[in-house]
Amino acid sequence: MRRLAMVWMLAWGCVGADVDWPAYLGDKGSTHYSRLSQITPRNVSRLGVAWTYHAGGADPANRSQIQCNPLVIGGVLFGTTPDLQAFALDAATGRELWRFDPASVHGVTKAGVNRGLVHWADGQDRRVLFGNDHFLHALDAGTGRRVPGFGKDGTLDLLDGLGRDVRGLSLQANTPGVVFGDLLIMGMRLGEGPAPAAPGHIRAYDIRTGRLAWRFHTIPQPGEPGHETWPPHAHRYAGGANVWAGFALDERRGMVFCPTGSAAFDFWGGNRIGANLYANCLVAIDARTGRRLWHYQLVHHDLWDRDLPAPPNLVTVTHGGQRIDAVAQVTKSGHVFVFERETGKPLFPVREMPVPSSDMPGESAWPTQPVPLRPPPFARQRFTHEDITDVSPGAHRHVLERFVRLRPHVPFMPPSKEGTIVLPGFDGGAEWGGAAVDPAGVLYVNANEMPWVLTMVEARRADGGPMASGEALFNQLCAACHGIDRRGNAAQNVPSLLGVGQRLKADDVLALLRAGKGVMPSFDFLTAGQRHALLAHLLGTTNGMTREAARATDAAAPVEGSTSPAADALGSIPFTMTGYHRWLDTNGYPALKPPWGTLTAIDLNTGEHRWQVPLGEVPELISQGLPRTGTENYGGPVVTAGGLVFIAASRDEHLRAFDRRTGRELWKARLPAAGYATPATYSVNGRQYVVIACGGGKIGTRSGDAYVAFALGR
């Protein structure tokens, strides 16, 4: 280990000669931009594989992913594996230098995904910080060992310090925070279903010690601005309004820009009537103190899971002949909001558009929603009969038959029991890969063009029985992912629960409910009786235990201490959803006409689109003579001074390079698995590389364990 540390320190000695990728998405302004120019439109066709690193840890059942945008600093690449280990590589060769497995730490669990890491240095003290599940680890960047003076032996439990008891609730640190001086500003992913959720407060920690430095309440407390936009006591029970997508930081001004998500429950807000600040806001905060400087709410009283899906981009634009420092925020709805950075004033007009009211009992949808008049949307906003797929007559007929039974689609149509079309869908429009911006003020954003159907149901037993039943618990806790029918969702890597009793023992199911696994959160807040009630509903018959016997076991189950506040809150939400359902035709293609995935260049100086092209292709449709359709995509672009936009993201398992001026595809390379991540580009010893994590595992594609780096041939 000492020898590896020396190798790393020697690499640091030549840092001045190299160009790094030192922060998540390239820099703290989240620009995804690199000033490297060795690879150009004229020579990009000569790109080839420079090295491949197999990290291991991929799930043979194709449910693991790698969403990591790696760091590259001083010739060393830092990344994470499918099973959430951190590692360091020689960035020129892909040779492993060290590895850290959180599972080696007593009491630490691994769950969720990881999208990146954070680097901090003060002299010889160089640290890499990364999150997994609800833990944050500080590692010595040269050795991979935990830093003893940080938190407890190098690890923090992020369940602590939220101001109320959240033990057993879902909380994951999937996206890295941002460093300001000696502070690490952190967000987190939280539960968004009808089950209880933790509050999404933004927190800053002292990187040296792990001590909490400040906390900003995204669900305001009494006496704080915004408290009046909620019911009086909502701060005691409401959850969400969290920053799960990452931050952008203006270091010179000491301003951190925080894109927040929706309040929980995503699709019914009868217990949170009001506009719900600071959910669905871009919030500018003083990075030193946590004081709010300004905010802008992009969705009022969200009922559509319209989280702000990506970090905003810091960019300088020209308006009215003046150069203006701005911040741009892309959205799931396919819009770009552009604000003056210091004041939050929109640089293009924003209109409060009247939207439909809700007929769900107890709900009160907000009467208007803000829509920027420029730039125009980069994704379609309406789904009419003219948009129904024409890939084949049979597919068209199948979609049309359902289309006429659903509510007519308009933007911000509220959730309903009949079924509401959501377009752009729950994953955008824009998604967590985010957008890139160049110094000329042009923004490059990939988008999904996928309709989803949202259907609401009552969260109670079919026979009207008590809310403590296993069926009611399943509807509240599990149906959103696994579906009311328990068939799962292959596109979301959610397994079927049909016949689960033939695959798992009762004790195994109880253990999963307590600990969680992968993207499944822990439900440790449930009492023993509630867990056994849920078990009884899931198993039916297992190991000779009938459903009736399981219910008897439930009745006799011991109570583990007092009931938690979260367990007591179960049943307070009267509705749930039937699941996250993409609307597909009989062949598994999206229900609307192509393109199904796009890449768009938007001039933020003028508010005009420069170009839009399909992103990805479906080989079997190409072979039938159809034009390129684009595909659903996850992960963002990188733009370079060399004149290129690099992006993987597409379902067809390729990395591509586009001419940033024209949008013409210039090069593509097949990957060992889909690259559902944002690439990084860097230079070592004068050679430029482009690296992508190839984890696959989403939308029905195979999982992988590789990082692949490309460079020009020698």
Quote the pLDDT of residue 553. 45
Given a cut of 50, the residues of the chain with pLDDT beneath it are: 1-17, 465-467, 541-562
- Residue 533: closest CA among 553, 505, 518: 553
SS3 per residue for 420-438: EEECCECCECCCCCCEEEC
Residue 268: what residue type? W
Using CA atoms, how far apart are residues 113 and 117, in angstroms rounded to an integer?
12
- DSSP run (H or E) holding 616: none
Residue 490: what residue type? A
Buried b (16+ CB within 10 A) or exposed e, 171-207: bbbbbbbbbbeebbbbbbbbbbbbbbbbbbbbbbbeb
Using CA atoms, how far apart are residues 493 and 427, in angstroms rounded to an integer?
14
Alpha helices in 547-697 (DSSP H): 547-556, 565-569, 619-623
Quote the pLDDT of residue 286. 98
Q: How many residues does the chain have?
A: 714
Give the dihedral sign, CA 102/110/159/515.
negative
Considering only CA atoms, give the Rg of the chain.
Answer: 24
In Å, what is the CA distance from 420 to each residue of 423, 476, 594?
A: 10, 20, 21
* Residue 314 exposed, middle or buried by CB count within 10 Å (0-12, 13-18, 19+): buried
Residue 5: what residue type? A
Using CA atoms, how far apart are residues 516 and 497, in angstroms rounded to an integer?
15
Using CA atoms, how far apart are residues 107 and 404, in angstroms rounded to an integer?
53
Using CA atoms, how far apart are residues 77 and 690, in angstroms rounded to an integer?
12
Quote the pLDDT of residue 566. 65
Residue 159's Cα: distance from chain center in Å? 19
Peptide bond into 265 cis (omega under 30): yes
Quote the pLDDT of residue 541. 46
Neighbours of 465 (CB within 10 A): 11
Structural contact between residues 270 and 207, judged by C-beta atoms closer than 8 angstroms: no
Quote the pLDDT of residue 563. 56
Quote the pLDDT of residue 246. 98
Using CA atoms, how far apart are residues 47 and 262, in angstroms rounded to an integer?
42
Quote the pLDDT of residue 565. 61
Name beta bridge partners: 712: 47
- Residue 102: closest CA among 144, 73, 71, 66: 144
pTM of the model: 0.92
- DSSP run (H or E) holding 445: strand 442-448
Quote the pLDDT of residue 615. 98
Structural contact between residues 570 and 367, judged by C-beta atoms closer than 8 angstroms: no
- DSSP run (H or E) holding 539: helix 528-539
Largest CA distance in the chain: 78
* Domains defined for the chain, CATH in brackets: 31-67+433-450+594-714 (2.40.128.630), 460-572 (1.10.760.10)
Using CA atoms, how far apart are residues 638 and 682, in angstroms rounded to an integer?
11
- DSSP run (H or E) holding 471: helix 470-477
